[in-house]
Structure 1
């Protein structure tokens, strides 16, 4: 899942080397924390959050077969 998130986000940003995805696993869910360069934050979120919503939709769909819920947080 980390590779999927990186594959989606890296082409969108100006500083792909700063993209980091960390997973935090709990008993019933997995939270992925996405860190990008401060200057790329607007590109990842998009106008009115449309890009972030699209990324989350793809990630949630890819993780829907698992038993744990998937969450994606975009961290500054």
Structure 2
């Protein structure tokens, strides 16, 4: 899952080397939180107009987690 998020983010940004992902321990309900970190200049590219790209990233991650019977949440820092 972490590799999927990194791959998606690196395809969107101008500085792929600045992309990193931190993973939190699962919560009580089993949700795993992924924290996506990108360069300050690339933040707009990852979020998109009115958050459309961020919403699409979250949708893809949720779909991948559903295939593995899991729950995920993506936060962009």
- Superposed pair shares fold, TM > 0.5: yes
What stretches of structure 1 move > 6 A for 4+ residues in a row?
Answer: none
More strand by share: 1
* Structure 1 partner of 2:36: 34
Rounded Cα–Cα distance in structure 1 between residues aligned with 2:68 and 2:4:
15
After superposition, the Cα gap between the structure-2 partners of 1:73 and 1:49, relative to the gap in structure 1 and judged at 3 Å, is: same
SS in 1 for 2:9: helix
Q: Name the Cα RMSD after superposition.
A: 1.1
Give the paired residue count.
75
Deviates more, 1:37-46 or 1:20-29: 20-29
The residue number in structure 2 matching 1:25 is 25
Q: Which runs of 5+ in 2 are unaligned?
A: none
- Shift, 1:68, TM fit: 3.8
**Structure 1: tracts of 5 or more residues without a match:** none
